[in-house]
Amino acid sequence: MNNGKICISVCAETADEMIAKIRRAELLADMIEVRFDCLPLAQAAFLLAQIADSAFTKPLIATLRASEQGGKNLASLDERAAFWQAKKSDRFSAVDVEEDAFDAAVDWSNRILSFHVFEKSSLNLSDIYKRLCSRNDLIKLAAYAEDITDSIPVWKLIEKALWQDKEIIPIAMGDAGKWTRILGLAHGAYMTYASLDDGEETADGQITASDLIDVYRVRELDKNTELYGVIGDPVSSSLSPYMQNPAFAATGVNAVFIPLLVKDLDEFIRRMVTPATREVELNFGGFSVTMPLKQAIIKHLDEIDPVAERIGAVNTVKISGGKLIGYNTDAHGFITPLKTQFGELKNARVAVIGAGGAARACVYALAQAGADVTVFVRDLQKAEVFKNEFQVKLKQLPTDNSQLQTDLDIVVNATPLGMKGAFENDSPLTAEQLKGVKFVYDLVVRRDDTPLLREAENAGASTLGGLEMLIAQGIKQFAIWTGREAPEELMRESLKARIDKRQ
C-alpha cells in the first residue's frame, strides 16, 4: 500500500452533466479534477455557482486549463485570470493553475502549479522544474512521450523532488508514458490522474480509474513490486494485462504487468533495463514481446531457450540476476488447444496462411507434431527466407476463388485479416475455397467469430479462434516468470470479461 492518490479528471459540455460525472467519480477517486475548460466560459461560472451549493464526498480540484497547455476551450489569459479572481468557492480543496495565471489565483488555497510540454522539444525539464520549485507549491509537470525512453526525464523528477522533500505529480503523456501513470504512486508521486471511462480521457494516455485500481492495483504497488510488461508497437490494445495482473493478484505475487510502448528497442534496453547503463530503477522481472520486436530482441539476450532459437522469435523474456533469458511460448500456445480440439496431428495436412512471427511458431509446432505443412503467402519472394529456414513447402495464396489444396485437414490463419480495425471484415479465404477442409483455426483474437470462421462454418468445418492460444501462451509465460502454476480459469474469465467490455 502506498500513500499516493488517484484523481479522476472529469470533462463535460454542460454543468449538469459535469455534476453527474463528479457523482460517479466519487465512487472510485481520492480526488476529482473538475475541468472547467471543457465548458464555454459562461457555463463555467454557472458550474462554479452550482458546485458552491452542493456537497461532495471527495475533495475537488478546479482546473481551467489554457489551450496551449492542453485545455479544451480558447479562454485568453485575461479571461482565465478573471475566472480565478472572481468569487472563490470553498468547495474546492485545491486548484490547478498554469504559471501565467498563477498569481491571479492567489486567494485560492492549495494551488497546484502545472506545466505541460507537448513537443519533443529542447525544453529542459530540469530547468523548468527548478523554476517551478521557486514557488512553494505542489508541482505538476507533464511531458509528452513518443517512445518509452522519452519519459525518463519526467520520471527522474520524482527522485529529485523526494530528495528535496517536495511533492510532485510527474506525468509522461501518450501511450509511451502510461507506465509513469501506473508506477508513479509506488515510487513517491503525489497523485496520478485517471479517466472516468474509456473514451473520457482528458489527456493522452490516461487510463480509466477502474483499470488503475482493479487491474493495475496502483494503490498496492511499492518499490519492491516486480515489473513485467508487453513491449512492442502498438501495445495499447494488448489484452495481456487483463490476464497477467489478475493472476499475480490471485497468487499473491507482488508484481504488475503493464503496456510498454517501445519503438527504439536498443535505447530501451540500454537506458531502462541493462544494470550497468540504465537510468531508472524499475525492478523489471521480464517482458512479453510483441510485434515488431520478436526477432529484434534476440541480440539483447544473454541466453535463449533452444525452442525459441529454432523458431527464430522470442515472445517472452525473463530477467534473472540482471540476465535476459528468451523463450517462445507462442508455439506451445498454438499447439495446445489445437491438439485438444482436433486430436492427433501426425500426418495431418495443414495449410498455414502467412509467414510472419506467429507463423514461425505454428510451423515449428506443427512440424514437431509430425504434421504435413504447406505455407501460403501473398508474396513468394519475400517468404523465401522463411521457406529455407523451416524447410517447408511454400505456395502462392490464390487471389481468385480457387481452393488452396483439395485434401486439407486443417487451415490456420496467421495473418492480421479479421483483426478489429482496418481488416476486421476481411477473410483470407471464402467458404468455397474451404470446401472439404475439416478444421479452421484463426489466430485472430475476437469475441465473436472472425470473417474466416464464419466462412469455415458455412463450409461445414469445425472452428477454433485465437483466444485459447492467447491464454495458453500466457499461462506458460506466467509459469516462466513466477515458477508457479497459473490460475488458468481466472485468466480465461478475466480475458473474456475484458473482451466483452471492449466490443
User: Is the Cβ–Cβ distance between 404 and 380 less than 8 Å?
Assistant: no
Closest CA to 315 of 248, 247, 230: 230
| 156 assigned to active site | no
CB nearer ligand NAP, residue 220 or residue 426: 426
Closest CA to 312 of 288, 290, 294: 294
Site string for ligand NAP, 37-76 (x = CB under 6 A): ----------------------------------------
Closest distance between ligand NAP and the C-beta of residue 160, in Å? 40
Beta-carbon contacts of 17 under 8 Å, excluding residues fewer than 6 positions away, are: none
The DSSP output letter for 35 is: E
Quote the CA–CA distance of 428 and 14 in Å, as a whole number: 47
Q: Per rule CB under 6 A, is residue 495 in the interface with ligand NAP? A: no
* Strand 439-442 with 372-377, pairing: unpaired
User: Is the Cβ–Cβ distance between 102 and 111 less than 8 Å?
Assistant: yes
Q: Per rule CB under 6 A, is residue 239 in the interface with ligand NAP? A: no
Site string for ligand NAP, 314-353 (x = CB under 6 A): ----------------x--x--------------------
Within positions 243 to 282, which residues make up the interface with ligand NAP, using CB under 6 A? Answer: none
Q: Per rule CB under 6 A, is residue 241 in the interface with ligand NAP? A: no
Q: Per rule CB under 6 A, is residue 223 in the interface with ligand NAP? A: no
The SS3 assignment for 44 reads: helix
Residue selected from 130, 382, 393, 484 as contacting ligand NAP according to rule CB under 6 A:
382
Beta-carbon contacts of 328 under 8 Å, excluding residues fewer than 6 positions away, are: 305, 307, 308, 311, 313, 314, 315, 316, 361
Closest distance between ligand NAP and the C-beta of residue 360, in Å? 8
Site string for ligand NAP, 460-489 (x = CB under 6 A): ------x--xx--x----------------
Residues in contact with ligand NAP, counted by CB under 6 A, come to a total of 27
Quote the CA–CA distance of 263 and 188 in Å, as a whole number: 27
Closest distance between ligand NAP and the C-beta of residue 471, in Å? 8
CB nearer ligand NAP, residue 280 or residue 355: 355
Q: Per rule CB under 6 A, is residue 359 in the interface with ligand NAP? A: yes
The interface region with ligand NAP, picked from 66-74, 168-176, 437-445, 482-490 by CB under 6 A, is 437-445
Residue selected from 113, 227, 444, 495 as contacting ligand NAP according to rule CB under 6 A:
444
Q: Per rule CB under 6 A, is residue 453 in the interface with ligand NAP? A: no
Closest distance between ligand NAP and the C-beta of residue 382, in Å? 5
User: Is the Cβ–Cβ distance between 380 and 396 less than 8 Å?
Assistant: yes
End-to-end CA distance of the chain: 33
489 to 135, 246, 250, 290, 336: CA distances (angstroms) = 53, 11, 11, 24, 16
Beta-carbon contacts of 54 under 8 Å, excluding residues fewer than 6 positions away, are: 19, 91
**289, exposed or middle or buried, with CB in 10 Å at 0-12, 13-18, 19+?**
buried
Instruction: Say how many C-beta atoms besides its own lie within 10 A of residue 164's C-beta.
Output: 10
The interface region with ligand NAP, picked from 115-123, 241-249, 440-448, 484-492 by CB under 6 A, is 440-448
Closest distance between ligand NAP and the C-beta of residue 355, in Å? 4
CB nearer ligand NAP, residue 59 or residue 398: 398
CB nearer ligand NAP, residue 226 or residue 442: 442
Q: Per rule CB under 6 A, is residue 308 in the interface with ligand NAP? A: no
Residue selected from 355, 412, 461, 491 as contacting ligand NAP according to rule CB under 6 A:
355
Residue selected from 61, 62, 218, 445 as contacting ligand NAP according to rule CB under 6 A:
445
Quote the CA–CA distance of 190 and 264 in Å, as a whole number: 30
Annotated catalytic residue within 21, 140, 178, 294: 294
The interface region with ligand NAP, picked from 116-124, 169-177, 219-227, 414-422 by CB under 6 A, is 414-422
Q: Please provide residue 31's backbone torsions phi and psi, each rounded to the nearest 5 degrees.
A: -140, 160
Strand arrangement of the beta sheet that strand 316-320 belongs to:
255-261, 226-232, 284-289, 316-320, 323-327, 303-304
Which residues in this chain contact ligand NAP in the complex, by CB under 6 A? 291, 330, 333, 354-359, 377-379, 382, 397, 414-417, 419, 428, 443-445, 466, 469-470, 473
Q: Which residues are marked as active site?
A: 294
